[in-house]
Amino acid sequence: MSLFVINRYLGDEVTTSEDRSKALLQKLHEQAKDRQQQRQHPKAKASPKDDHVEETNTKPSINETLRKTKKRKKKQEEEEEGELKSPSDENEQDSGQQEATCIKEKKQTKKKKKLIAEECNEVIEHISKNNEGSMAEEPGGAKVTSSDPSSILLGGFEPKSVEKVLPVLPQWLAQPSLVQKNIKQNLVPIHDIHCLHPKVLKKLEANKVKYLFPVQAEVIPAILDSTCHGFLLGKGGYRPSDVCVSAPTGSGKTLAFVIPIVQALLQRVVCEVRALVVLPTKELAQQVCKVFNTYVDGMGLKVVMVTGQKSFLKEQESLIHKTAFGFCSLADILVCTPGRLVDHIQQTEGFNLRHLRFLVIDEADRMIDSMNQDWLSHVTKAVFQVVADSPNMLFTRKEPGILTAASSCLPQTPLQKLLFSATLTQNPEKLKQLGLYQPRLFTSKQKGTSDDSSETQMESSTSGNFSLPEGLTHYYIPCNLNSKPLILLHFLLSLRFSRVLCFTNSRDASHRLYLLVRSFGGISVAEFSSRLSPGERKKTLKEFEQGKVQLLISTDATARGIDIKGVKCVINYDAPQFIRTYVHRVGRTARAGKAGLAFTMLLKVQENPYFSMLRDAGAPEMQKQLVKSENLKQYEQRYEEALIELQRAVKNERAQKRS
């Protein structure tokens, strides 16, 4: 193709003879010789006049070459015309002869084309040699000879600076609905929310909820608005927007989905799974299930939890009931972990999600991370599963595509996704995996000013710009590896908090620290990690909540979502590696608008990276909390003894494992 273009440019589309190529080659050799001679006798071109002479001597030689090529082309055309004329005149001759002529012609053309290519390459080489130093570049990148600006040579493919394309956030992410961060100053009386059903209002009052928190006052009406024509249809027959909520830890996100779901399902006649809440851990599922149970009590709705805490058979029995007419659902609201849910979709006969109206994805950023388990596609398949000869065609659902006049004539129960997290990713790439429909974002994180560049907005939204609770004060404690355990013990013994949650980065670290504190004595301590069975974990959390355990040493298993009342202090014994982990860990205190303290123990080398991580996330600066070494002296003897005890305990455990 490029050769064709070059041929066209040279005006040499038609073939030329081998002799001519040789002649041209000879000429080029002669010219090269001349130039070499001139270089050997520089005096010959001392004056500028001579310079000009040389230039004009060289340039005409190119133009001459081109002119000659054109001339040859014309001559060749004439020759070819003559050649072509003869067979057409002899049209009546036999076809065999014609075929032979044709093959001969093709061969000739091929040979000629090869020659042209060779010749052209020589011409180009020659031109470029002659033009060295006399080429000027046009803004577009094409090159113009100084003598003839009208002749443009192909090229100009050198790397150029390309204008940066700025990333643009989708409108829904760039312009979210803002939720007030300060809970106490923005409480909304429940009677001011006009869309709440009297039964729901009564229930809220019975649970001593007189005011809605800001996130609830924003999100509950928005969800209820999409059910104003009944939960079987979206508003005006249209598919409702999906809802994404990013609000600080302890801001009341759970009630923000529990209340509208309970109210929407109040009108249901037949029991079917209409709301599905997916959570990352058993403990969180249990907690959310408890809240649902509080609000469905006396409303005629059933909540079922499947997380693997009970046997599979028991869970199946709690989900469906077989009758003479087929299977009946025993759940209106299903709270689950993703793995167990997929097991039931695949293995529980009669279990279906064909009537699902709300899909709640709590701790959504964590759930997106677990998307590789493909649980969402299993759910979607189950929701839009086509049942052959279904008696009730009203409920036949098709996976929605593009809205057309035809599709809008067949309104169907919409599936609305509701996403909640304190650290919801606003990375469109990640959110895309959830297949959201015209989403609405509610967030308490105010992005800079409106005239922030979209690049800044994009950066802040994807790098995790999260809010900490208003009531939280956070400190860092400078320490070294040796003083760390002693500082912790000093803290616990001197501050005397009733419930302290202490995080480490691994279950082994949690276990060792637990053994050390237990050996030291004077503090009621427990550990929480995957070392414990689900039953033991449940018991430990209960005892901690009841105040029987003063210090709970935990892995990140309790970092997310767990709502334990009365936790006044969180200690990061090991500094968390990610800002999201930090936000969730410290969010176990300062909940529901209350005050709370968070301490992070930092080694000298950790300080700067840590501060910059928090700064990047837009978190307020940490205050320094110094512990004087003389304050630790009083514990040193006991600490040494505890270390010996710890060594013994670890040895015993190893021996037990081996036997």
A 10 A CB-CB count for 439 gives 17
255 vs 619, which CB is nearer to ligand ATP?
255
Residue of the chain from 16, 58, 251, 348 that contacts ligand ATP (CB under 6 A):
251
239: DSSP letter: P
In whole angstroms, how close is the CB of 209 to ligand ATP at the nearest point? 4
CA distances to 366, 504, 505, 597 from 587, in Å: 16, 16, 17, 10
In whole angstroms, how close is the CB of 600 to ligand ATP at the nearest point? 18
Among 15-23, 54-62, 118-126, 248-256, the segment contacting ligand ATP (CB under 6 A): 248-256
Phi, psi values for residue 359, rounded to 5°: -115, 110
Considering only residues 184-213, where is the footprint of ligand ATP by CB under 6 A? Answer: 209, 211-213
Considering only residues 61-80, where is the footprint of ligand ATP by CB under 6 A? Answer: none
If one asks whether residue 254 binds ligand ATP (CB under 6 A), the answer comes out as yes
CB 579 within 8 A of CB 617: yes
69 vs 281, which CB is nearer to ligand ATP?
281
Q: Give me the numbers of helices (H) and strands (E) for the chain, helices first please.
A: 23, 22
Between CA 266 and CA 607 the distance in angstroms is 53
Q: What's the token pair of residue 453?
A: 């560049």
29 vs 202, which CB is nearer to ligand ATP?
202
Question: For the sheet containing 358-362, what is the strand order?
Answer: 177-178, 440-443, 243-246, 416-421, 358-362, 275-278, 333-336, 303-306
Residue of the chain from 252, 464, 471, 596 that contacts ligand ATP (CB under 6 A):
252
244 vs 627, which CB is nearer to ligand ATP?
244
In whole angstroms, how close is the CB of 584 to ligand ATP at the nearest point? 7
In whole angstroms, how close is the CB of 569 to ligand ATP at the nearest point? 16
CA-atom Rg of the chain in angstroms: 40
Among 18-26, 249-257, 366-374, 478-486, the segment contacting ligand ATP (CB under 6 A): 249-257
In whole angstroms, how close is the CB of 178 to ligand ATP at the nearest point? 16
If one asks whether residue 364 binds ligand ATP (CB under 6 A), the answer comes out as no
If one asks whether residue 332 binds ligand ATP (CB under 6 A), the answer comes out as no
Phi, psi values for residue 250, rounded to 5°: 75, 15
Between CA 467 and CA 426 the distance in angstroms is 14
If one asks whether residue 250 binds ligand ATP (CB under 6 A), the answer comes out as yes
- Burial class from Cβ neighbours inside 10 Å (0-12, 13-18, 19+) for residue 606 reads middle
250 vs 338, which CB is nearer to ligand ATP?
250
**Residue 329: its H or E element:** strand 326-329
If one asks whether residue 464 binds ligand ATP (CB under 6 A), the answer comes out as no
Between CA 199 and CA 527 the distance in angstroms is 41
User: If you count them, how many residues does the chain have?
Assistant: 659
249 vs 510, which CB is nearer to ligand ATP?
249
Per-residue burial over 540-561, b if 16 or more Cβ lie within 10 Å, else e, is bbeebbeeebbbbbbbbbbbbb
Site string for ligand ATP, 534-573 (x = CB under 6 A): ---------------------------x-x----------
292 vs 514, which CB is nearer to ligand ATP?
292
Comparing CA positions, the residue from 417, 427, 428, 421 lying closest to residue 242 is: 417
183 vs 486, which CB is nearer to ligand ATP?
183
249 vs 443, which CB is nearer to ligand ATP?
249
CB 410 within 8 A of CB 235: no
Considering only residues 584-603, where is the footprint of ligand ATP by CB under 6 A? Answer: 587, 591-592
CB 558 within 8 A of CB 501: yes
If one asks whether residue 422 binds ligand ATP (CB under 6 A), the answer comes out as yes
Please give the sequence-ordered ranges of beta strands (E in DSSP) within 94-160, or none if there are none. 135-137, 143-145, 152-153
In whole angstroms, how close is the CB of 193 to ligand ATP at the nearest point? 11
In whole angstroms, how close is the CB of 250 to ligand ATP at the nearest point? 4
Among 9-17, 88-96, 243-251, 638-646, the segment contacting ligand ATP (CB under 6 A): 243-251
In whole angstroms, how close is the CB of 491 to ligand ATP at the nearest point? 24
259 vs 342, which CB is nearer to ligand ATP?
259
Strands 358-362 and 525-528: unpaired
In whole angstroms, how close is the CB of 586 to ligand ATP at the nearest point? 10
In whole angstroms, how close is the CB of 240 to ligand ATP at the nearest point? 22
If one asks whether residue 255 binds ligand ATP (CB under 6 A), the answer comes out as yes
Residues that bind ligand ATP (CB under 6 A): 209, 211-213, 216, 249-255, 422, 561, 563, 587, 591-592
